[in-house]
Amino acid sequence: MGPPAHVSHIPSTSPPSALTSASWGKRKASALKSDVDSPSPSSKCSCPPSVAAKAQQEGSTAISSLASTFQEMSKPLTMHIPAPMIPAPPPAPPSDFTCAVKVLTLATNISDGDKLEMMPLFLKNKDKVVVFLYMNANLRAAWVQKRLAEVHANMNID
């Protein structure tokens, strides 16, 4: 007895003895074709990425771009920047006493003896120094004579 006609044949690597070589070729080709048409679980799907996947990919690209831009911008900041040159503070302005001595020594209408006598007076009384400095140059000699006369009068009384 032969195999029933309604029984389906599973393709195998060796042909059954009941099939002719021509019918075996047809069955093998149809089995291979059906294997190609049906996707296997291990093959990948070539569907386009979803909107969420695209957004994630674009976000990744944007973050990478920002990171590299930030690195480029921060390079000048990390370079060694020399400390700014701080100029030396200007010298202190000369004191009123120093200015008074300079003006007194340059005065041509006051004798050297009177100049030497005025210096201790300037040391004792800063107000006299200020008056001398801001006085008109033409009056200074007369003022010096008057101050020295007062000093001499006080020396005679004491």
In order of 32, 48, 117, the CA distances from 39 in angstroms are 12, 17, 121
Answer yes or no: is 5 within a domain: no
104/147 same-domain check: yes
112/70 same-domain check: no
Q: Please list the pLDDT of the chain residue by residue as tens digits (158 residues).
A: 555 555 555 555 555 555 555 555 555 555 555 544 555 555 555 667 787 777 787 778 888 888 888 777 777 666 666 778 888 888 888 888 898 999 999 988 889 999 999 989 999 999 999 999 999 988 999 999 999 999 888 887 76
Looking at the structure of the chain, the number of domains it has is 2
Answer yes or no: is 41 within a domain: no
Answer yes or no: is 19 within a domain: no
147/101 same-domain check: yes
Q: Residue 71: give the domain boundaries.
A: 50-79
110/147 same-domain check: yes
Answer yes or no: is 90 within a domain: no
